[in-house]
């Protein structure tokens, strides 16, 4: 997605084509959150007033850049995983052997299709944790952008959770479903953390 | 922003430059939400199974396209409004007359700078209302994308609210501040509506 123009990518998102779809949108929201954390770090590091937080925000900047790169790759992984599901459903099902092979291929593809939004949710939770970490030392002029970063990552988290559930709905391996749901639940605790970041920023602005 | 590559736009968002910043990010989140509503409409209209909702979703598609275009323009408006604030702060302040002119220019620029995120919040509320409207008639295969649209628009709403408050903080015209806050409060009621859309989609998926 990164080499498309923003307008062109949104046109594709809006089109009848299933990819890019909600999975890529969630990854994009996470990437926007990570990019804003980078911006806040870039506008804080090197300022004498925030020297106390220099080390912390320099480390956060490197992490935010890494998270943004991962988010962009997840958008591509999502399209590939969706392609595998579609390909599996199209497999021949004339004989019993073909039916079994097709069912196995569909199940395997669904495992992959649930894995991408699960990783997106976990990445979004990392972006939110990073927003919380930089909040005390962020340049006051751009503290509102920390809230925007947290909101955007929270949207990625909520969206990814729905996308995980959609793919688990047709998965028959209950053990795997339970394992994925456990990881998802853990990531989803970051939603409250995002709300706390937004609330704290609002308080600071109101002062 | 629409003619930049996605990767290039995110690089600029992450950079030390203040624009694009949180205002453009909020507009982008709203545009992503609107684009996903278009996608769901495009994948529903013309399907015999959803003939009952054809008229409603055809109308929604046109609205979603219009909202996406407006969101992209708001990202540009945000950069322009921010530029006016910076320019006003740079005005000469050697004489009393200059000081008065500068203060007036800053106040006028802040009114404009608060207006853009206010319109973004109102636009995000429209995207959320549209998500709710299409939910009953959406192609079941892409109902999860209605939730992603609502989440993304909710992030735009929350982000825009913070950006409105940041600009109001330095505005001295209390009457104008009160009028803006009243419109913002009204837009913010859509947050609960977005959560309701996400909850309903989750219920449907779990069935």
Residue B116: C-alpha distances to residues A29, B53, B67, B83, B166 (Å) = 20, 34, 15, 13, 12
**Structural domain boundaries, residue B81:** 6-206
ipTM above 0.90, yes or no: yes
CA triplet A67, A69, A72: central angle to 5 degrees? Answer: 110
pLDDT at A159: 96
pLDDT at B146: 98
In order, the DSSP letters of B128-168 are HHHHHHHGGGS-GGGHHHHHHHHHHHHHHHHHHHHHHHHHH
Q: Flag whether pLDDT at A48 surpasses 80.
A: yes
Residues 49-108 of A with CB under 8 A from B: 64-65, 68, 72
Over range B29-51, report the average pLDDT.
97
Say if A126 falls within a structural domain. yes
Residues above pLDDT 90, as percent of chain B = 96
Taking only the tens place, the pLDDT of each residue in A2-40 is: 789 999 999 999 999 988 999 999 999 999 999 999 999
Q: How far apart are CA A65 and CA B64, in angstroms?
A: 32
Taking only the tens place, the pLDDT of each residue in A104-145 is: 999 999 999 999 999 999 999 999 999 999 999 999 999 999
Taking only the tens place, the pLDDT of each residue in B161-198 is: 999 999 999 999 999 999 999 999 999 999 999 999 99
Taking only the tens place, the pLDDT of each residue in A67-93 is: 999 999 999 999 999 999 999 999 999
pLDDT at A206: 85
As given in the structure block, the two tokens for residue B15 are 């950079």
Q: How far is B114 from chain A (nearest CA, A)?
A: 13
pLDDT at A182: 98
Mean of pLDDT over chain B: 96
Q: Do B25 and A152 touch (CB under 8 A)?
A: yes
Q: Which helix (H) or strand (E) holds B1?
A: none
Q: Do A32 and B18 touch (CB under 8 A)?
A: no
Is residue A35 a contact partner of residue A68, using CB atoms and an 8 Å limit? yes
Q: CB within 8 A of B113, min separation 6: which ones?
A: B81, B82, B84, B85, B167
Considering only alpha carbons, which residue of chain B is nearest residue A164?
Answer: B144
pLDDT at A87: 96
Q: Which helix (H) or strand (E) holds B111?
A: helix B96-134
Q: How many domains does one find in chain B?
A: 1
pLDDT at A3: 85
pLDDT at A2: 77
pLDDT at B42: 98
Q: How far is A8 from chain B (nearest CA, A)?
A: 8
Does B196 lie at the interface with A, CB-CB under 8 angstroms?
no
Residue B173: C-alpha distances to residues A26, B80, B104 (Å) = 39, 22, 11
pLDDT at B3: 85
Q: CB within 8 A of A33, min separation 6: which ones?
A: A124, A127, A128, A131, A148, A149, A150, A151, A152, A153, A156
User: What confidence tier does B150 reach under pLDDT thresholds 50, 70, 90?
Assistant: very high
Q: What is the CATH number of the domain that holds A105?
A: 1.20.120.680
Q: Flag whether pLDDT at B64 surpasses 90.
A: yes
Please report residues of A whose CB lies closer than 8 A to that of B82.
none
Q: Which helix (H) or strand (E) holds B86?
A: helix B54-89
Question: Phi, psi at residue A2, to the nearest 5°?
Answer: -65, -20
pTM of structure: 0.96
Please report where in the chains the tokens 């970051």 appear, as a residue: A190
As given in the structure block, the two tokens for residue B154 are 């909710």
Q: Which helix (H) or strand (E) holds B43?
A: none
Task: Give A82's Cβ-side CA count (13 Å radius).
Answer: 20
Does A47 lie at the interface with B, CB-CB under 8 angstroms?
no
pLDDT at A167: 94
Say if B84 falls within a structural domain. yes
pLDDT at B206: 85
Q: How far apart are CA A151 and CA A164, in angstroms?
A: 20
Residues constituting chain A: 207
DSSP A48: G
Say if B119 falls within a structural domain. yes
Say if A170 falls within a structural domain. yes
Secondary structure of residue B5 in the 3-state scheme: strand
Is residue A198 a contact partner of residue B155, using CB atoms and an 8 Å limit? no
Nearest to B2 among A5, A65, A205 (CB): A5
Say if A73 falls within a structural domain. yes
Say if B1 falls within a structural domain. no
Please report residues of A whose CB lies closer than 8 A to that of B64.
14
Does B203 lie at the interface with A, CB-CB under 8 angstroms?
no
Q: How far apart are CA B189 and CA A76, in angstroms?
A: 35
Q: How far is A97 from chain B (nearest CA, A)?
A: 28
CA triplet A18, A21, A24: central angle to 5 degrees? Answer: 135
Q: How far apart are CA A152 and CA B155, in angstroms?
A: 5
Q: Flag whether pLDDT at B207 surpasses 90.
A: no
> To 10 degrees, what angle do helices A143-168 and B143-168 make?
170
Is residue B68 a contact partner of residue B35, using CB atoms and an 8 Å limit? yes
Q: Do A4 and B1 touch (CB under 8 A)?
A: no
Q: How far is B129 from chain A (nearest CA, A)?
A: 17
Q: Do B4 and A1 touch (CB under 8 A)?
A: no
Taking only the tens place, the pLDDT of each residue in B100-117 is: 999 999 999 999 999 999
Residues constituting chain B: 207
Say if B179 falls within a structural domain. yes
Over range A48-55, report the average pLDDT.
97
Q: Do B14 and A35 touch (CB under 8 A)?
A: yes
As given in the structure block, the two tokens for residue B191 are 């947050």
Q: Flag whether pLDDT at B136 surpasses 80.
A: yes
Q: How far is B39 from chain A (nearest CA, A)?
A: 4
Cα radius of gyration rounded to whole Å, chain A: 20
Say if A1 falls within a structural domain. no
Residue A165: C-alpha distances to residues A2, A50, A110, A186, B117 (Å) = 27, 43, 11, 15, 33
Mean of pLDDT over chain A: 96
Residue B205: C-alpha distances to residues A8, A170, B112 (Å) = 30, 10, 43
Please report where in the chains the tokens 């998102």 appear, as a residue: A13
pLDDT at B1: 79
Considering only alpha carbons, which residue of chain A is nearest residue B61?
Answer: A14
Per-residue exposure over A89-115, b if at least 16 CB sit within 10 Å of its own CB, e if not: eeeeeeeeeeeeebeebbeebbbbbbb
């Amino acid at each position: 997605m990164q080499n498309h123009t923003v307008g062109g990518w949104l046109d594709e998102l809006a089109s009848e084509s299933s990819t890019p779809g909600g999975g890529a949108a969630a990854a994009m929201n996470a990437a926007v959150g990570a990019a804003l954390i980078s911006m806040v770090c870039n506008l804080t590091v090197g300022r004498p007033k925030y020297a106390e937080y220099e080390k912390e925000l320099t480390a956060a900047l490197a992490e935010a850049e890494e998270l943004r790169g991962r988010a962009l790759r997840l958008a591509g992984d999502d399209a590939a995983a969706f392609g595998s599901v579609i390909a599996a459903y199209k497999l021949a099902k004339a004989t019993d052997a073909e039916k079994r092979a097709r069912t196995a291929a569909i199940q395997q593809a669904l495992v992959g299709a649930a894995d991408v939004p699960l990783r997106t949710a976990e990445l979004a939770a990392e972006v939110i944790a990073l927003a919380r970490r930089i909040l005390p030392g962020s340049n006051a002029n751009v503290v509102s952008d920390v809230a925007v970063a947290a909101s955007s990552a929270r949207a990625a988290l909520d969206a990814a959770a729905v996308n995980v559930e959609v793919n688990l709905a047709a998965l028959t391996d209950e053990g795997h479903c339970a394992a994925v749901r456990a990881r998802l639940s853990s990531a989803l605790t970051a939603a409250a953390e995002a709300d706390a970041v937004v609330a704290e920023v609002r308080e600071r602005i109101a002062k």
